[in-house]
């Protein structure tokens, strides 16, 4: 009497299909053994795909057959697609089983494999399920690609979004807090070029963002956050970016500005830390007056108390008491606080400069529109040359891809070239109110707020010579206030005022006014 192992396999999506259930297969195999007088050694139940033989229960069966070689004659299953859906893997496994003295057989598709012609039928039985799998996968791929072209996100929602289902059953994504606010903050901080990107990532994680370093870099490359969906290249179709149906978290221009930074076209070289100890708000901003290297900071323990120092790690050994420097910096801030009576003059000058800003914005807008017209004309000309068969289709695709990429960036920049007109007086008043208590804001602020104030006033590094601070230049607004308070002795009416440095009226820049 022959001995057989019964192999019963279903995949998750086949559980409900008639004829594929484990019970139906088990009954069919037991009836076959009873009719043919075959002894059943064991029954193996598998719930795994047949694309490969990397299946838990099958691997256990193979180990058992090797361990008890000669104890089994057959491995029975209902159909060959229960055994495998990959022809190449199936032939290899059949050879392995034969070396162990075991013959695989499908009871509903019996084949005598000792007859060479039957191998052609075996190839058909194995290839048919594989073709079915490939066709199903291809249909799903094309369906998902078409949905992406329509602006639908076809995956788990990225950080800052959540998957939802509409009443009609269509799935979509929408922003969710706190992830959306954190991602928006991260993009804005990267665009400021004030801190290293990894420092921004660590602060985002501290604020509640749940992702690792590699995932964070993938997120800031993803155009999903500016309302667009990237579609990769496939065969003759070029890669493209389409407008999504979801709500964006950031503007398109901000996204492309960040891409320029992270891709090296506009790379920041800042070494300033996003967070620092409360005792060292100037860490990362101060440079040594002797060797011009950045100061670090540390705390030394004395007999009765600890002492904080800013110091250099180079051989020059520059070293200054941190408490003294911090106090001197607060005193230094007071000279930038507007004096009583200078507010009206300051308001008028800021309004005048904003007017110049708006004129410059208009000029920039005209320039961008000119570039847009150039690339659209170039694309139109290339299309005409393709119709006249003056260029090959491949050359046209390259020109189209290049032009469309540039047009997308220019259109994003055009959206931001809008003159400042909303709530100007209210914003100027808010700015003046904050500037009038700048030193108090610094003393009572958090470590991050202090560092924002410092970087807003001093765009470049500070040097402390033991008595005073020195820097190459000041922020435009701060310099203007300082000159106002000196009685306009240094102000000269310019013949051609250049575009004001600050965007809008965020005074000082990169510092949120209270």
Task: Specify which of 54-63, 107-116, 397-406, 446-455 reaches the highest per-range mean pLDDT.
Answer: 54-63
The reply to whether 268 falls in a domain is no
- What letter would DSSP give residue 106? E
**CA gap 29, 38 in Å, rounded:** 10
Q: Which residues partner with 286 through β-bridges? A: 462
Residues 456 and 307 both lie in one domain: yes
Residues 119 and 254 both lie in one domain: no
- What letter would DSSP give residue 88? H
At residue 500 the predicted structure's pLDDT band, cuts being 50, 70 and 90, is very low
**CA gap 381, 386 in Å, rounded:** 9
Distances (CA, A) of 94 to 78, 90, 125, 276, 295: 16, 6, 14, 65, 71
At residue 499 the predicted structure's pLDDT band, cuts being 50, 70 and 90, is very low
Residues 205 and 254 both lie in one domain: yes
End-to-end CA distance of the chain: 90
Summarize pLDDT for 460-476 with one digit per residue, the tens.
777 777 777 776 566 66
Q: Which residue has the tokens 């660590």?
A: 202
Grouping H, G, I as helix, E, B as strand and the rest as coil, residue 241 is strand
Residues 242 and 294 both lie in one domain: no
Greatest extent of the chain over all pairs of C-alpha atoms, in Å: 114
Q: Per mean pLDDT, which range of 28-32, 114-118, 375-379, 380-384 is the poorest? A: 114-118
Q: Per mean pLDDT, which range of 216-220, 306-310, 348-352, 404-408 is the poorest? A: 348-352
At residue 423 the predicted structure's pLDDT band, cuts being 50, 70 and 90, is low
Give residue 458's pLDDT.
74
The reply to whether 413 falls in a domain is no
Last residue of a domain, one of 133, 160, 193: 133
The reply to whether 502 falls in a domain is no
Q: What b/e string do you get for 427-458 counting C-beta neighbours within 10 Å, with b at 16 or more? A: bbebbbebbeebbebbeebebebbbbbbbbbb
Question: In this structure, what are the phi and psi dihedrals at residue 26, rounded to the nearest 5 degrees?
Answer: -60, -45
Q: Are 296 and 309 in contact (CB under 8 A)?
A: no
Give residue 313's pLDDT.
75
- Sheet of strand 296-301, all strands in order from the earlier edge strand to the far edge: 296-301, 306-311, 319-321
Residues 12 and 119 both lie in one domain: yes
The reply to whether 497 falls in a domain is no
Residues 80 and 224 both lie in one domain: no
Let me know the angle formed at the C-alpha of 98 by 97 and 99, rounded to the nearest 5 degrees: 90
CB atoms within 10 A of CB 485: 15
Residues 291 and 252 both lie in one domain: no
Q: Are 26 and 96 in contact (CB under 8 A)?
A: no
Q: Are 406 and 375 in contact (CB under 8 A)?
A: yes
Last residue of a domain, one of 99, 116, 133: 133
- Which of 259, 191, 253, 261 lies closest to 411, judged by CA? 253
CB atoms within 10 A of CB 253: 19
The reply to whether 425 falls in a domain is no
Helices (H), 249-342: 252-262, 322-334
Residues 247 and 300 both lie in one domain: no
Distances (CA, A) of 262 to 202, 254, 276, 404, 409: 16, 12, 24, 21, 16
Element (H, E) at 149: helix 118-149
Grouping H, G, I as helix, E, B as strand and the rest as coil, residue 354 is helix
Last residue of a domain, one of 262, 296, 323: 262
Q: Residue 506 above 60 pLDDT?
A: no
The reply to whether 416 falls in a domain is no
Region label for 283, one of left (φ > 0), alpha (ψ between -120 and 50) or beta (otherwise): beta
CATH number for the domain spanning 85: value is 3.40.50.1390
Q: Which domain holds residue 192?
A: 179-262
Residues 6+ apart with CB under 8 A from 300: 306, 307, 308, 309
Give residue 494's pLDDT.
45
Grouping H, G, I as helix, E, B as strand and the rest as coil, residue 152 is coil
Residues 61 and 209 both lie in one domain: no
**CA gap 106, 121 in Å, rounded:** 12
Give residue 225's pLDDT.
92
Residues 318 and 226 both lie in one domain: no
pTM over 0.75: no
The reply to whether 16 falls in a domain is yes
Residues 219 and 306 both lie in one domain: no
Grouping H, G, I as helix, E, B as strand and the rest as coil, residue 429 is helix
The reply to whether 63 falls in a domain is yes
Summarize pLDDT for 227-251 with one digit per residue, the tens.
888 888 887 777 888 888 899 999 8
**CA gap 494, 477 in Å, rounded:** 16
Q: Which residues partner with 106 through β-bridges? A: 77
Q: Which residue has the tokens 């999903």?
A: 224
Higher pLDDT, 457 or 39: 39
Residues 14 and 77 both lie in one domain: yes
- Which of 454, 463, 459, 460 lies closest to 292, judged by CA? 463
Grouping H, G, I as helix, E, B as strand and the rest as coil, residue 316 is coil
- Which of 401, 442, 64 lies closest to 278, judged by CA? 442
Q: Are 72 and 5 in contact (CB under 8 A)?
A: yes
Summarize pLDDT for 143-182 with one digit per residue, the tens.
888 888 888 888 888 999 999 988 888 888 999 998 999 9
**CA gap 502, 308 in Å, rounded:** 35
- What letter would DSSP give residue 207? T
Give residue 478's pLDDT.
64
Give residue 502's pLDDT.
40
**CA gap 356, 501 in Å, rounded:** 11
Residues 6+ apart with CB under 8 A from 369: 414
Q: Which residues partner with 301 through β-bridges? A: 306
Question: In this structure, what are the phi and psi dihedrals at residue 41, rounded to the nearest 5 degrees?
Answer: -85, -50
Give residue 77's pLDDT.
92
CATH number for the domain spanning 226: value is 3.90.1750.20
- What letter would DSSP give residue 168? T
**CA gap 508, 434 in Å, rounded:** 9
Tokens of 281: 């708000």
At residue 4 the predicted structure's pLDDT band, cuts being 50, 70 and 90, is very high
**CA gap 198, 205 in Å, rounded:** 11
Q: How many domains does the chain have?
A: 3
Summarize pLDDT for 72-126 with one digit per residue, the tens.
889 999 988 888 888 888 888 999 998 999 999 999 888 887 787 787 888 888 8
**CA gap 340, 329 in Å, rounded:** 22
């Amino acid at each position: 009497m022959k001995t057989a192992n019964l192999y019963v396999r279903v995949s998750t999506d086949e559980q409900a299909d008639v004829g594929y259930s484990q019970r139906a297969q088990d009954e069919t195999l037991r009836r076959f053994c009873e009719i043919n007088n075959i002894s059943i050694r064991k029954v193996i139940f598998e719930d795994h795909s047949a694309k490969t033989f990397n299946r838990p229960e099958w691997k256990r069966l193979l180990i058992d057959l090797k361990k008890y070689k000669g104890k089994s004659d057959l491995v029975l299953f209902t159909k060959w697609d229960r055994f495998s859906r990959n022809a190449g893997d199936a032939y290899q496994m059949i050879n392995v089983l034969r070396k162990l003295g075991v013959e695989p057989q499908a009871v509903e598709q019996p084949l005598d494999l000792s007859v060479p012609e039957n191998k052609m039928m075996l190839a058909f039985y194995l290839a048919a399920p594989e073709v079915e799998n490939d066709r199903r996968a291809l249909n799903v791929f094309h369906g998902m690609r078409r949905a992406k072209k329509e602006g639908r996100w076809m995956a788990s929602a990225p950080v800052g979004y959540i998957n939802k289902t509409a009443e009609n059953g269509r799935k979509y994504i929408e922003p969710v807090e706190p992830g959306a606010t954190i991602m928006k903050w991260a993009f804005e901080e990267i665009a400021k070029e004030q801190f290293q990107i990894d420092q921004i990532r660590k602060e985002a994680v501290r604020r509640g963002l749940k992702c690792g370093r590699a995932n964070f870099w993938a997120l800031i490359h993803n155009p999903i956050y500016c309302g667009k969906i990237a579609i990769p290249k496939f065969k003759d179709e070029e890669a493209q970016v389409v407008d999504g149906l979801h709500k964006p978290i950031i503007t398109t221009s901000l996204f492309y500005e960040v891409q320029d930074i992270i891709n090296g076209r506009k790379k920041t070289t800042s070494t300033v830390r996003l967070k620092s100890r409360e005792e060292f708000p100037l860490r990362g901003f101060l440079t040594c007056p002797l060797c011009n290297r950045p100061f670090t900071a540390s705390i030394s323990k004395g007999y009765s108390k600890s002492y904080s120092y800013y110091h250099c790690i180079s051989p020059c050994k520059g070293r200054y008491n941190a408490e003294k420097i911090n106090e001197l910096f607060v005193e230094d801030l007071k000279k930038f606080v507007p004096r009583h009576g200078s507010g009206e003059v300051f308001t008028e000058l800021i309004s005048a400069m904003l007017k110049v800003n708006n004129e410059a914005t208009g000029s920039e807008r005209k320039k961008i529109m000119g570039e847009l017209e150039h690339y659209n004309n170039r694309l139109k000309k290339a299309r005409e040359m393709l119709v006249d068969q003056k260029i090959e289709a491949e050359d046209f695709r390259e020109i189209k891809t290049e032009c469309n990429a540039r047009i997308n960036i220019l259109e994003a920049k055009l959206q931001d070239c809008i003159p400042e007109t909303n709530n100007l007086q209210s914003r100027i008043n808010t700015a003046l109110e904050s500037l009038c208590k700048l030193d108090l804001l610094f003393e009572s602020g958090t470590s991050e707020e202090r560092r924002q104030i410092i970087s807003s006033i001093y765009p470049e590094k500070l040097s402390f010579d033991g008595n005073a601070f020195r820097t190459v230049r000041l922020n435009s607004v701060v310099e203007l206030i300082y000159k106002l308070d000196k009685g306009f002795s240094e102000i000269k009416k310019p013949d051609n005022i250049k575009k004001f440095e600050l965007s809008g009226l965020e005074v000082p820049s990169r510092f949120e006014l209270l």
